[in-house]
Amino acid sequence: MSDENQHATASTKRIGVLQSFPGRGPQTNPYLLQLTDSLGSDVEVMYFSWRTALLGSYDVLHLHWPERLARGSSTAKTFVRRLALMALIARISRRKTPVVRTMHNLATHEAGDRWERALLRAMDARTTAWIRLNPFTPTPSEVSTVTIRHGHYRDWYPQPSSSDVIPGRILFFGLIRPYKGVEDLIGAFAALDDPSASLRLAGKPKSAELAGSIAAASLGDHRVSSVLRHLADDELSQEIGASQLVVLPYRAVHNSGAAILALSLGRPVLMPSGETTEWLSEEMGPGWVRTFAGPLTPEILREALAAAAELAGHPDLSRLEWRGIGEAHVRAYRAAIRSTHAPRTDHASGTPVAARTQGVDDVPAGR
């Protein structure tokens, strides 16, 4: 078959994409479900099982949070998973299966041991294309990199109305990890001299120790309430709808699905300043993403609450439409397949072939 015919076939045939998550469950990240729904008829979506990964037939492996493949619920299960991951790495190497990796974070939330890190490095070395959610995420050289924004949640969750808002209500929601700064938020709120303000904490702490620390920090302030567990979609929509301001005081932030969710439901967000949060602030329009530098203080909370009370309209979500995001992913998959049949580097220019031919796929507004 000629190179032109191979290229035409790769550009038109339906492709099988094995996603690295196990399927559609009640606690599956809605980002992943909306992504697979957006891929259209050109893609056969396959959900992860070790049997499919090691024995099945697929054209592309799409990785999200690959460290999850190396971790089990016990020492024995972790050991077995890592042996399976070694076999998977050997299989994709032997079959030259394209691997596409979405960079949700700069690093894993919880550091792994040396064996896990070695396995993830081996998988990184075999990654054909990298998808980043913002233009600031660094990716390895010699491979294709494409920027595809995080899609909105507007069609996934019930839309609250302005009448649902409890005046003065501040909300933190999401899985509670130490780096997310919930204790910093509780401390700043405790010093806020405003009896009409309230703080709501909604989400499951990562550990019992963290849950106890949050409970202890909240003692004595009747304005603070919490629901420290995983929330169903309708419950989470109600919590966000009741808030006047969502505060995400992360000590380290790069991408935030929680911020996108709050904005999708028409609630403004307060976050630490950084290149990605300032970029998000510019894209969403004036007032929707407020940022702060340094420690979170009661003055920052007071100013953000006052601004939120005056905010009208809706944030600009036009660049976060799933149709364009799905199309961009399909292009990334096809480019990854093509790149497995091309030389890795253009020796005349020194430019990686895949990076030169694919580039940044910025999803147009309104798609």
Cα 143 from Cα 127, distance rounded (Å): 8
**pLDDT band per the 50, 70, 90 thresholds, residue 363:** low
* Cα angle, residue 136 at apex, residues 34 and 177 outer, rounded to 5°: 65
275 Cβ partners below 8 Å, 6+ apart?
A: 136
Summarised one tens digit per residue, pLDDT across range 277-320 is 999 999 999 999 999 999 999 999 999 999 999 999 999 999 99
Summarised one tens digit per residue, pLDDT across range 90-104 is 999 999 999 999 999
- Name all domains of the chain by residue range, CATH numbers in brackets: 3-152+321-358 (3.40.50), 162-316 (3.40.50.2000)
**pLDDT band per the 50, 70, 90 thresholds, residue 346:** very low
What mean pLDDT is predicted for residues 6-30? 82
CA 84 and chain centroid, separation: 25
Summarised one tens digit per residue, pLDDT across range 214-234 is 989 888 899 999 999 999 999
pLDDT at 109: 65
pLDDT at 20: 97
Answer positive or negative: Cα dihedral of 64, 140, 260, 178. Answer: positive
What mean pLDDT is predicted for residues 125-135? 95
Partner residues linked to 271 by β-bridges: 291
What mean pLDDT is predicted for residues 224-253? 95
- Whether 203 has a pLDDT exceeding 80, the answer reads yes
pLDDT at 344: 44
pLDDT at 25: 86
pLDDT at 57: 97
* Pick from 290, 289, 254, 268: nearest CA to 133: 254
Partner residues linked to 200 by β-bridges: 171, 225
Model-level pTM? 0.86
**pLDDT band per the 50, 70, 90 thresholds, residue 4:** low
